[in-house]
Structure 1
Amino acid sequence: MSSYIQNYRIPTTIMRGGTSKGLILRSIDLPSNPIVRDQVILRIFGSPDTNQIDGLGGGSSLTSKLAIVSPPSHPDAHIDYTFGQVSLNQNTIDYQATCGNIATAVGLYALEEGYIRLTEPLTCIRVYNTNTNKIIAIEIPVANGHIQYEGEFSIDGVPGLSSKIMLNFLDTGGTHTGKTLPTSNPTDIIQIPDGRKFEVSIIDSVNPLVFVRATDVGIQGTELPAQINSKLELLNTLEKIRVEAGILAGFLENSDHVTPSTHALPKIAVVSPPQDYVNINNEIIRKENIDITSRYISMGTLHRAFAVSGSIAVATAAQINGTIPNQQIFAAGNGIRIGHPSGVLYTEVTVEKSGSNWIVPRAAIGRTARRIMDGYAYVPFSMLTLDDEVGKEIYEVQQY
């Protein structure tokens, strides 16, 4: 009899995708009861605890990310991918948003696991994202019958060079609301509870994002995480703007019990014109090498880099006349270079006018990914519901 009889053993893969890191779990290895499943996952991560000391989470929003993979439920997909943002300080997992960085890891994972046959020079795996009900086409370099891990491509926020993995997001406009401009307006005025009013732009492309000018919230827009995250009054103001904009656009019913951990959507970003600044690696980013300066808030704190989904919303907004991002750039094209705390992120988005709406047929961005380790995560058997078929089966099998 195994010495681990009191523990539920779950096959777990840790991967980095882009500037994020998370766990990949197979649905077949998890309890089918979603409530029990989420409690098991929270225990694996070590949440709720801001340090996640008793689990595999890394104690930040960038490293507390989850991918649940399963056989495809869409006829055009090779694999299903459900993203979860695991809260650090609450007993919740948010499945509303999606993450392009972790999608990169899922694409590589699927190829490594043999979900489809490798083809040269690129193998395209179609991932069905259940959060958004959209397909992400992920192109991975292959040569001589093997995945190519080495290359000359780099992304700011991740050290070293690797091969380039292309993410192609298909039909991303209006992912959550059916409209790229949820309010039909390029800008709106919202009022927060203390009476202050702010002009915002709300864009729904992959994930919904609220944009506000840096000068309107009293900053330059080139600040780094330590500077922003120490300004509690600023973060509080940005959260109130996010919530009021979310109510206006229909993402939130009201402001009751809304926190960054419980309601990840909409996201919020601060934007400003191209400026010279020093990034977190003490490198000078020149304004002539970027099209817009932006700072992205994730789970109530400033993101050290810039989310893939957020970059698509920026590039979408930049091409729609009158939006706040569109006002910050000199000339809008399909390709946008975003200056963020770690450096520069380049994103290509196709935006087309369709009647009174805007459509986004394709958005593409280059990323890198790496499998870090495989193993087992352990949680007590007492967490399982034994009348749950998966839980009962695991309990019976793992006693031997």
Structure 2
Amino acid sequence: MRTYAYRIIVSGIVQGVGFRPFIYRIAHKANVKGYVKNMGGSEVEIRIEGNNDGIGEFMRLLFLELPPEAKIENINMEETELNLFSDFKILPSGNEIKEPSIIPPDFSICDECLKEVLNPKDRRYKYPFNSCAYCGPRFSMMYKLPYDRENTSMIDFPLCDECRFEYYDPSNERRFDTQGISCPRCGPRLYLESIEGERIEGDPLTVTVKLIEEGYIIAIKGIGGFHIAADPFNDDVVLKLRERKNRPQKPFAVMALDLPTVEKYAYVSNLERELLKSPQKPIVLLKKKEPYELSKYLSPDLDREGFFLFYTAFHYLLLDYMKNHVLIMTSGNKHGYPMCIDEKCAREKLKGVIDYILYHNRNIVNRVDDSVIRVSANRVMFIRRSRGYAPMWIKLKRKVQNL
């Protein structure tokens, strides 16, 4: 039976979403030989050799079993010369740029990673930075392309033996060749300090919750920058935050543990529910329920409140410890300044605004604020297009003249 050889260039969201391990798995299922590797422009190169049946099965599986967050925008397939590969491998990344492609955005924690965080028998139990091939930070921690660990801020966290075993295990669908993985032994850590830099003893998360419930205002380092967290029920605290932040009217967003919690305070349509639960986890402007139980100073004289759900294990654990499972989580910036992405900025620019800083030791490379969406007449309207949606490109139906 004749053997065919093809070179395939795939562009879209195909780096940072478990695409190479996926190609490795389906190549073995289809019994084709060759390799897959990242290229220099965030696209992926695939070489396959096999008979007609094998090639056909490979292409069928490519579209049928695509990873959940992967998105193929373009695929270029051309027949090429035979190399008589003996097996199928994942090769080191190259520098060639063949097709423009999308840099992967940041995704919220997936259900499987959250289950591990909540399982007392799992080694990642209560680990705030759990992620896998299908979830976690991407763009916010990338120094350059292609998407490899050494090109991200995860370079500062060498894999421990257990994580290394998962990384090289082809049968581990969620962690094989997955660049952002870590665990409590080898990953980032949390620290809680006063604004003056005094380290606070005890579990950073539970102590932070205690401080918030006592009326303190905390800067919290997330995926793409700092939030300012405070008690959304306490009028005095909300007014104090407004005064300190020089923000007399602009509303504050509220982060919640789950949908039932959001639905205590706002009406949620089916489309709004889908947006809140999506991997992008945007802030969604929702119609308030009356009487409104949260502070009237959160969004004064407005009939809508910006709600969003947790998008990291870190946020989930923090909200789970809160008595009412909601927090003010507004951008960590002083009026007129961009959102802080490191502790030095938080201490200098937020001095006089916050009382404590809860931070981790993974560098934020690219500032990524929360996306904001409103649904009107069953149409999705972007107020701010950022985390989860950027830097994905937008395709236009017409050509744009070069300037």
How does the TM-score come out when normalised to structure 1?
A: 0.27
Give the TM-score of the pair, scaled to structure 2: 0.27
- Which has the larger strand fraction? 1
Higher relative contact order (CA 8 A, sep 6+): 1
